[in-house]
Structure 1
Amino acid sequence: MITGASGGLGSALADALAPTHTLLLAGRPSPRLDAVAGRYGATTWPIDLADPDAIAAVVEPLVELDVLIHNAGVAYPGRVAESSIDEWRSTMAVNVVGAVALTLELLPALRSAAGHVVFINSGSGIKPSPGLASYSASKFALRGFADSLRNDEPSLRVTSVHPGRIATAMQEDLVAYEGRDYDPTQFLSAGTVARVTADAINAPRDAHIHEVIVRPR
């Protein structure tokens, strides 16, 4: 299962994993999500991470799950003094609480498969990025949850992926906030990050990759 599967990195993750996995693409219903699913014969799962109370009913049919990739996320460019409480609530609701809620609901299915939980984190989850106050805080929290899950669920593999800046629509918004011209060649491609993530997922079963840090050259 890949959350945020309609976006740039989500779509790239689907492409990287389609040869080896049956895909369950999770996200808010949209033509973009349907289009990604259509390319790979995948199933869509209508999950809104901002509504954690609705998650249980959606994933209840799943009794076994090999891989859960937390890719969905939001970011509101802004330094601390520029940020609003509503932005902080929204960021934490999707990036942290939604991810926790989905993981908790899927724990029985993941345990049954001795599965793998992957968190697409960020370089901001290791060192806060200027102009991304609420986003950086949410990624630190997500990293803490991943570490706790790894400690508490020894039958699972848990990996945090910390890419540098990726050439996506979210990146365009951040560059616009910074007042610079957007040049995608300055950033990692979504396909590169997806392939690195797929390598961690497809690693031999006796390998447990805790953390992956990827930076543009």
Structure 2
Amino acid sequence: MAVAIVTGASRGLGRALALALAERGWDVVVGGRSGGALAELAAGQPRIRVVVGDVTDAWHRTALLTTAWDLGGLDLVVNNAGVLGGEGLATTAELSLDELRRAFEVNVIAPLGLAQEALPMLRAAGGALINISSDAAVEAYPTWGGYGSTKAALDLWSAVLAHEEESVRVWWVDPGEMRTAMYAAADAAAAAEAPLPEQEAVPGLLALLDARPPSGRYLAAALAVRGDDTAAGTVTDTVGADAAERGVAR
């Protein structure tokens, strides 16, 4: 049976995706800092295993992988955990350097650490890595410079990894606007009008897993609309498109 790790699963996209994978018969190892929320998520879900902790801690990442190994291996890692950096957003002139360092630790360095440790198992399984990105990685929005810069860095190392790995698919995905607590902290009015994660983002990610297109940057909304037909027209990153043309992930 397929095994996945989903970080940041105590709420929002991570929670919705973990439930959707479990419903499909996946064994899912979920990580997050809220033990209560994770326990609630796993209640009545025998396929969901909980590992409480902070993804920036090496011991926590090792615990996620050990739990997956005990389940029989690892087919998928979803780096979903993320922070805005501080309580909200700020102009570039007012960005807190301490909060920005924390955001880079959570959004860039911790996902890379988990990916590095997971690669041997993913290679053995011909598995996949999904890094959750943002349109703020490629568009310049006022006050989003700190968060966007972390996602841009995540995108870049994802694209490089896609060139380097032949047996592992590397997908970095823009989930689109979602009604989540993190988005509400940035823009409560926009978040209230956004779809829930399970309405667009999760169907898009499931379509990605079904179709297994080449490594690249994808838009969840486009994947959800196209369904399994993701082989063309949905790679949005030029590096990812070049990787697909060269057969980086086969």
Q: TM-score band (shorter)? A: 0.7 to 0.9
Q: Output the amino acid matched with 1:201.
A: L
Q: Output the amino acid matched with 1:13.
A: L
Q: Output the amino acid matched with 2:165.
A: E
Equivalent residue number for residue 126 of structure 2:
114
Post-superposition CA distance 1:114-156 (Å, at most 9, x none): 1000011111112133212211000000001111111111100
CA contact (8 A) 1:6 1:27 kept: yes
For structure 2, the residue ranges without an aligned partner over 5 or more in a row are: 223-250
Off by >4 Å, runs of 4+ in structure 1: none
Equivalent residue number for residue 90 of structure 1:
102
Equivalent residue number for residue 52 of structure 1:
58
Post-superposition CA distance 1:69-102 (Å, at most 9, x none): 0110000311111211111110000000000011
User: Higher relative CO (CA 8 A, sep ≥ 6), structure 1 or 2?
Assistant: 1
For structure 1, the residue ranges without an aligned partner over 5 or more in a row are: none
What TM-score does the superposition give when structure 2 sets the normalisation length? 0.77
Equivalent residue number for residue 65 of structure 1:
74
Equivalent residue number for residue 78 of structure 1:
90
Equivalent residue number for residue 233 of structure 2:
none
**2-structure distance, mates of 1:129, 1:39:** 41
SS at match of 1:202: helix
Query: How many percent identity over aligned positions?
Result: 30
Q: 1:54 to 1:139 in 2, by over 3 A?
A: same
CA contact (8 A) 2:8 2:14 kept: yes
Equivalent residue number for residue 178 of structure 2:
166
Q: Output the amino acid matched with 1:16.
A: A
- Tell me by how many angstroms 1:30 deviates: 1.3
**2-structure distance, mates of 1:116, 1:58:** 16
Equivalent residue number for residue 25 of structure 1:
30
Q: Output the amino acid matched with 1:74.
A: V
Count of equivalent residues: 209
Post-superposition CA distance 1:42-89 (Å, at most 9, x none): 101234222236533552454421010011000031111121111111
What TM-score does the superposition give when structure 1 sets the normalisation length? 0.88
Equivalent residue number for residue 242 of structure 2:
none
CA contact (8 A) 2:29 2:64 kept: no
**2-structure distance, mates of 1:209, 1:148:** 11
